[in-house]
Amino acid sequence: MSDFPDDMPFFGDPAAPRAQAGGSVAPGGIAARAMKARSAPNYLQGLNPEQRLAVETTEGPLLVLAGAGTGKTRVLTTRIAHILSLGLAYPSQILAVTFTNKAAREMKERIGVLVGGAVEGMPWLGTFHSIGVKLLRRHAELAGLKSDFTILDTDDVIRLIKQLIQAEGLDDKRWPARTFANMIDGWKNKGLGPSEIPEGDARSFANGKGRQLYQAYQDRLKTLNACDFGDLLCHPIRIFRAHPDILREYNARFKYILVDEYQDTNTAQYMWLRLLAQRPDNSRRQSGSPISPLAGEIGAKPGRSTVNICCVGDDDQSIYGWRGAEVDNILRFEKDFPGAAVVRLERNYRSTAHILGAASHLIAHNEGRLGKTLFTEAPNPDDDRVHVHAAWDSEEEARAVGEEIEQAQRKGHALNNMAILVRASFQMREFEDRFVTLGLNYRVIGGPRFYERLEIRDAMAYFRVVAQGADDLAFERIVNTPKRGLGEAAIRQVHDYARARDIPMLAAAADLVATEELKPKPRSALKEVVDNFTRWQSLLDSTPHTELAEMILDESGYTAMWQNDRSAEAPGRLENLKELIRSMEEYESLRGFLEHVALVMDAEQNEELDAVNIMTLHSAKGLEFETVFLPGWEEGLFPHQRSLDEGGRSGLEEERRLAYVGLTRAKKNLHIWFVSNRRIHGLWQSTIPSRFLEELPEAHVEVAETGNSYGGYGGYGQSRFDRADPFQNSYSTPGWQRAQQNRSEATRSNWGSRSGANVERIGYGEADSGFGAGRGSVKGRTIDGELVAKSVSDTPSAFKPGDRVFHMKFGNGNIAAIDGNKLTIDFDRAGQKRVLDSFVQRV
């Protein structure tokens, strides 16, 4: 098609990229053997046979099941290099999709190493969303947008929906915008438009107004010349369906399609891929049919022209089901693409045999897997087993992990090679606190983002209005920031005028300031705003964008606003604004920069610094570290209660996959921790070791002896597993048995319903005795010689107001009030606190 300026030849005869004959290369077939016989180019050297098969099977559909650490990225990048060097396609004829920018960036770099500058000619290598934007900008008018449309982030979306909910006269507290934003997101993940959502869904929000609101939202987006993340996929899908001629152009263009992390694709992404993977012979089957998902949009029948699509993934690492990913997509691949070749990569180059053994045994507890078993070719008898540690509470956990890190550091291990992977981000804090105390460098990955800061968002809002005058959300954000005396009333007037005429607010403001509608003061203030934007917009194409950006921030008074601010954060904010301008230099234009920010929300981390990495298990996917710490393996936290409540069995399986991801991040050393007490929402609760611990195979695990800290599991004997029955590993230490017993008790009493009423709590005695047996607990039950208090909220409290009590953390105090099993106590030193009755005793 003529509007592709990017067709650049690579190797071989530029005029005629050769397409190999259709049909896949049967493993062991003549073609495959012939390929092997040929002397292998450099880039193929060092691939193992499976990898090489995956690289060289260029024709036809191919599913690569790549276990953790089996060289997935290498296969993907080498495959692209291979296609290019054989001249099977131009760089611009390869569609390569990833989920994250990080993955896209890495792939690009690694292809660059293999093929050099040719990678620059690959405009279709990127995330689903970035490729979606590219498609949509080309065909924006077919979706009712202009090609300079704005991409809204979650925050904008919520504000917009809130306005709509209020406009409907609904109570935005009863019907939170955030909830509806999530619903819309869910629908868009499934590729459903307002008219296609299930009736039940439509009814479940705002007294049956769900569908109407969704439609109103889409209409509003059109007026704003904007779209949300979901639209980046859904609009192209609609365009392809409604305009087969356009789709055919892309079908013809993309000679090779590669998809990374296929197990994470949602339904919309799946439909998108299927459309793009259509080939001439079967494109007839698709028409402008409504979204009746998944129904034979493709299907390369044997004997017809097949599609060269290669999906790489690992069903065992599917951890994004909660945001719409369909593991089923990968499980169904061979049905979707008949005649597909499947290559399994099971040879692991990352972890020790113990780590692999533990991970494999754990994941084997899941049903419905495609089934892979990782193995290593280099088992080493000296390797450490997976260590399981117990701690009294999360504070001790953080302290002990800190000690181990320092110890490793003394042995010469770099902090960069260590990571702490948590289930939930609140766990990070305790580690951060501890590391600050120790003076240990750490880095939080996936924390609060640069572009989400207030001052950055404000500045971006200015830029957005300049770049795209219809962006009302941005306009509203900064029209009175800094304060210009444009209060609610004035803004309301502009808003209503704009809505009534279906024009952008900036245009409405321009109209209004020419009339006598507004009071003199707001009128002149608004006039200045309008004039400013008009001027900045006129400079957009003639002024270097960084210069323009600085001009905007100065002339608007935004910079001055922070300069005059005497608060502690102000200097930091100014610094961030400077950083923002600096980072703009790397982009060609203001628009390019805005797009980058919309799609790549994160700023780069400082990798120079040697620091321990702290992140969630989710963000650890794809990474590897020499030493990995996995704290918080307790029921309710991991597996997370909410996954269990909402996802049932499949929720549990997803949690298990998450555990599997965690285990397989480690190359050499792996330490798992659980604590017996954790503070949740301010209350100390006793916890039970995660069921996943029991699912680890004894042969690869060692329960660490920890006699080092106060109140801990000091009296532990040598760690042992129950040899009698390897499948029902019961650890034979007292603490373990107690844990087991607690667990079965708890299960019987419906553990962890959200009420928190039947959470088991362990009572304890004086501060220095820690877990001392039987000392002064409230209502007790003896297990293994230790006293376990069970307190349930419907049991009347044994205390009365005015009682003098002792609490291990807060010391002595008097009871002020009682609420079920929760006591409000005025502590002598710590002030008033609410604690559970099982944590205090009378003095």
Partner DNA sequence: TAAGCTCATGTTTTT
Partner DNA sequence: CATGAGCTTA
Our answer to whether residue 261 is catalytic in this structure is: yes
Handedness of CA 471, 475, 476, 478 (dihedral sign): positive
For residue 98, say whether it is annotated as part of any ligand binding site.
no
Q: Could you say whether residue 649 binds DNA (CB under 7 A)? A: no
Q: Could you say whether residue 519 binds DNA (CB under 7 A)? A: no
| 734 phi-psi bin (left φ>0, alpha ψ -120 to 50, beta other) | alpha
For residue 206, say whether it is annotated as part of any ligand binding site.
no
For residue 73, say whether it is annotated as part of any ligand binding site.
yes
Q: Could you say whether residue 154 binds DNA (CB under 7 A)? A: yes
At 757, list the tokens.
């009423």
Our answer to whether residue 73 is catalytic in this structure is: yes
Task: Give me the residue label for tokens 């915008």.
Answer: 177
Answer yes or no: are the C-beta atoms of 181 and 163 closer than 8 Å.
Answer: no
Our answer to whether residue 72 is catalytic in this structure is: yes
CB of 107 to DNA, least distance (A): 13
Residue 503's alpha-carbon distances to 220, 472, 494, in angstroms, are 11, 10, 10
Stretch that binds DNA, among 249-257, 297-305, 377-385, 424-432 (CB under 7 A): 424-432
Cβ proximity to DNA, 43 vs 827, nearer residue? 827
Q: Could you say whether residue 127 binds DNA (CB under 7 A)? A: yes
Cβ proximity to DNA, 445 vs 798, nearer residue? 445
Q: What value does the CA radius of gyration of the chain take, rounded to a whole number of Å?
A: 30
User: Binding residues for DNA, how many (CB under 7 A)?
Assistant: 42
Q: Could you say whether residue 446 binds DNA (CB under 7 A)? A: yes
CB of 102 to DNA, least distance (A): 6
What residue type is 684 in one-letter code?
W
Catalytic residue among 231, 260, 336, 655: 260
Cβ proximity to DNA, 391 vs 525, nearer residue? 525
Q: Could you say whether residue 642 binds DNA (CB under 7 A)? A: yes
How many residues does the structure list for the chain? 843
Cβ proximity to DNA, 101 vs 537, nearer residue? 101
∠ CA(638), CA(641), CA(643), 5° rounding?
Answer: 90
Strands (E), 608-750: 612-616, 625-630, 666-680, 683-686, 701-703
Q: Could you say whether residue 99 binds DNA (CB under 7 A)? A: yes
CB of 574 to DNA, least distance (A): 17
Q: How many CB atoms lie within 10 A of CB 141?
A: 10
Catalytic residue among 72, 108, 211, 484: 72
Q: How many CB atoms lie within 10 A of CB 323?
A: 12
Q: Could you say whether residue 619 binds DNA (CB under 7 A)? A: yes
Our answer to whether residue 665 is catalytic in this structure is: yes
Q: 368 Cβ partners below 8 Å, 6+ apart?
A: 331, 653
CB of 556 to DNA, least distance (A): 16
For residue 72, say whether it is annotated as part of any ligand binding site.
yes
Ordered alpha helix ranges (H), 439-589: 454-467, 472-478, 488-501, 505-513, 520-539, 545-555, 558-563, 570-584
Restricting to residues 159-198, which ones interact with DNA according to CB under 7 A?
172-173
Cα–Cα nearest to 159, from 140, 181, 182, 189: 181
At 192, list the tokens.
């459903």
Listing DSSP states for 594-643 in one string gives HHHHHH--PPPP--SS--EEEEEHHHHTT--EEEEEE---BTBBTTBHHH
Q: Could you say whether residue 640 binds DNA (CB under 7 A)? A: yes
Q: Could you say whether residue 521 binds DNA (CB under 7 A)? A: no
CB of 660 to DNA, least distance (A): 14
Distance (Å, whole) CA 253 – CA 314? 28
Cβ proximity to DNA, 63 vs 103, nearer residue? 103
Catalytic residue among 6, 7, 20, 73: 73
Candidate residues 426, 450, 587, 716; the one interacting with DNA per rule CB under 7 A = 426
Cβ proximity to DNA, 513 vs 614, nearer residue? 614
Catalytic residue among 50, 56, 153, 261: 261
Q: Could you say whether residue 833 binds DNA (CB under 7 A)? A: yes
Stretch that binds DNA, among 68-76, 142-150, 272-280, 679-687 (CB under 7 A): 679-687
Phi, psi of 327 (to 5 degrees): -55, -30
What residue type is 585 in one-letter code?
E
The secondary structure of residue 347, as a DSSP letter, is: B
Long-range Cβ pairs for the range 549-553 (8 Å, 24+): 549/459, 549/463, 549/580, 549/581, 549/584, 549/590, 550/581, 552/462, 552/463, 552/466, 553/459, 553/462, 553/577, 553/581
- Is the N-terminal amide bond of 482 cis, ω within 30° of 0? yes
3-state secondary structure of 588: coil
Q: Could you say whether residue 602 binds DNA (CB under 7 A)? A: yes
Cα–Cα nearest to 712, from 657, 679, 675: 675
Phi, psi of 494 (to 5 degrees): -60, -45
Stretch that binds DNA, among 211-219, 250-258, 511-519, 594-602 (CB under 7 A): 594-602
CB of 158 to DNA, least distance (A): 9
The secondary structure of residue 107, as a DSSP letter, is: H
CB of 159 to DNA, least distance (A): 10
Q: One symbol per residue from 219 to 258: x for binding DNA (CB under 7 A), - otherwise; what is it?
A: ----------x-----------------------------
Q: Could you say whether residue 485 binds DNA (CB under 7 A)? A: yes
Q: 746 Cβ partners below 8 Å, 6+ apart?
A: 635, 688, 752, 758, 759, 760
Catalytic residue among 190, 477, 665, 691: 665
Our answer to whether residue 575 is catalytic in this structure is: no
Restricting to residues 339-378, which ones interact with DNA according to CB under 7 A?
none
Our answer to whether residue 317 is catalytic in this structure is: yes
For residue 824, say whether it is annotated as part of any ligand binding site.
no
Q: Could you say whether residue 599 binds DNA (CB under 7 A)? A: yes
Distance (Å, whole) CA 422 – CA 197? 36
Catalytic residue among 98, 267, 317, 352: 317
Q: Could you say whether residue 102 binds DNA (CB under 7 A)? A: yes
3-state secondary structure of 341: strand
Phi, psi of 825 (to 5 degrees): -125, 135
Q: Could you say whether residue 829 binds DNA (CB under 7 A)? A: no
Catalytic residue annotation = 72-73, 260-261, 317, 665
Q: Which residues are annotated as a binding site?
A: 66-73
Binding residues for ATP, by number, are 66-73
- Residues of this chain that bind DNA (CB under 7 A): 99-102, 127-130, 153-154, 172-173, 229, 322-323, 423-426, 446, 480, 483, 485, 487-488, 599-602, 615-616, 618-619, 640, 642-643, 646, 679, 681-682, 833-834
